[in-house]
Amino acid sequence: MCVYLIILVRLLGMVAGGPARGQLGVEVSTSTDVIHRGDSFNVDMKIQNPFPEPVDIAGWSWQLPPGLIVGKSPAEDERITLQPGDSWAISFPVSSWRPLWAFGDLRAPETGAQLSSFNIRYKIGGLDHLQNVAVTLNIHASPIEIYLAAFVGGILGSFVKRLTLGPELLVSGVLGLILVLVGLRRKDVQLGVSIEDSLGGLVLGFFVGYLGTPYFESLLPQI
């Protein structure tokens, strides 16, 4: 009976891609702590062999959200053999895109936490394995998106208030832009509206345009 159980366990291990050995040690970091749409950055990987026998890394692949593109890494065509306890570091260049209305491309990634997947193909003990590593990239709106939204919001707010066209529309747009410029650079300024994305810039600009210069002047002491 015990012999049959041992055979069954080995067969299940072969179906799953090999005997259960745990996983490679993988550490992930990015070259910048804050990633904006339109930025280019690097994803750095450190892969370690925790097994008591050599590991042959046969290749890898990325699954990224739309709008993020992985460039060719210097060692993409290499086949790496890691001895027990050895580690290997590799850096992947990644580029993102701005939306078209922000002088960019329509394939811009969504903002917020974007989940991507890094797949490592490796061989150990003559058997093939596939390890999936989940990588979360926190994407922020591009500053130029927020600036443009604040300028447009100021114009819209002023037009809704007055229902006329005139130079005051541009003045309101500039005031909204100034508030956003200050708010993004000084975290101690309380503007009453979160300006982490283009919607926040649009709303703040609209307030300035609709409420006029008294609203802007009420915030001047903080600036």
Residues 124 and 158 in one domain: no
Write the Ramachandran bin of 163: left for phi over 0, alpha for psi from -120 to 50, otherwise beta: left
- Looking at the structure, tell me whether residues 68 and 128 fall in a common domain: yes
The answer to whether residue 142 scores a pLDDT higher than 80 is yes
Q: Check whether 11 has a pLDDT greater than 60.
A: no
- Which of 49-53, 95-99, 120-124 comes out lowest in average pLDDT? 95-99
Instruction: Identify whether 11 is part of a domain.
Output: no
Task: Tell me the mean pLDDT in the region 81-108.
Answer: 85
Residue 21 pLDDT: 56
For the chain, the domain total comes to 2
Residue 156 lies in a domain: yes
In a domain, residue 1? The reply is no
Residue 79: pLDDT band with limits 50, 70, 90: confident
**CATH classification at residue 108:** 2.60.40.10
pTM (predicted TM-score): 0.69
| Full strand arrangement of the beta sheet holding 80-82 | 35-36, 127-140, 112-124, 55-63, 80-82
Q: Which domain holds residue 157?
A: 143-219
Beta-strand runs (E) in 104-209: 112-124, 127-140
% of the chain surpassing 90 pLDDT:
20
